[in-house]
Amino acid sequence: MITKADFACLEGVDLSGKTTTIRRILSTQSPYTTIVREPLVSKEILASAHIPCEEKVKMLYESRLFLASLPNLLTERCFLSTLVYQQCVNTLSPSKRVISKVTPLLPSLIVVLLPPLEILLQRLKRRTFPDAFDRRLTTYWHRYNTVLSTYTPILTRLGVSVEIVTSAEDAVEALLSLKSLK
C-alpha cells in the first residue's frame, strides 16, 4: 500500500545542485524542520551488482518507513533516484505496483533538479576526484529523463506533484511553495 504524506523530496542526478539547494533552504525561514539525505542506504549498495535487486528494494523500503515519522520533512532523493541508480532499473515495468514495492510513502511534492547535460559535464571537469557515479553521469542523466517520462504520469495520478527545474534557484522556490506540512 502507498501512502501520500505531506513532505517534499528533492531529486536529481549527481552534480545537479541538490546540496546547493539544501544550503539555500537552510538559510531561509524554511518550514522544514527535518532535512534528510535520502536514501538512507548508500548509492554504493544500490549500485552493487552483488546485492539482488529485491534486497536493495527491501532496504530502501524499511528506511522510508522510518522517515514517515519525522515532522516537516524534506528528503534529498526518494523514489525516482532509486530507479535511476539501482542496477535493476530496466527490469521494472512502470506501474503503481512497482512504486508500492519501492516505497511505502510518497511525498506531496517531488522537485527534480535536472540541469542540461552540458552544464553537468562542465561541473564534472571541475571535480578533483570524480567517483564511479560521476564518471557515469551521462548514463544517469539519460536514465533520469527516461524514468521521469515514464513515472511522472503515474505519480501525478497518485496525487504527487512533480516539478522539473534546471537551477538551484528554481528548486528552492518550488520547495518553499509546499504549504501543507505536518
The rounded distance, in Å, linking the Cα atoms of 138 and 128 is 18
Residue 87 belongs to a domain: yes
Number of structural domains in the chain: 1
Q: Rounded to an integer, what distance in angstroms lies between the CA atom of residue 15 and that of residue 21?
A: 12
Grid coordinates representing 163 are 516539478
pLDDT in tens, 32-82: 877 877 556 566 666 666 777 677 767 777 776 777 677 788 888 776 776
Answer for the pair 8, 78: CB distance below 8 angstroms, yes or no. no
Structural domain includes residue 181:
no
**Domain span holding position 35:** 3-176
Q: Of all helices (H) and strands (E), which one includes residue 151? A: helix 137-157
Q: What percent of the chain has pLDDT over 90?
A: 15
0.75 exceeded by pTM: yes
Give, as one character, the DSSP assignment of residue 5: E
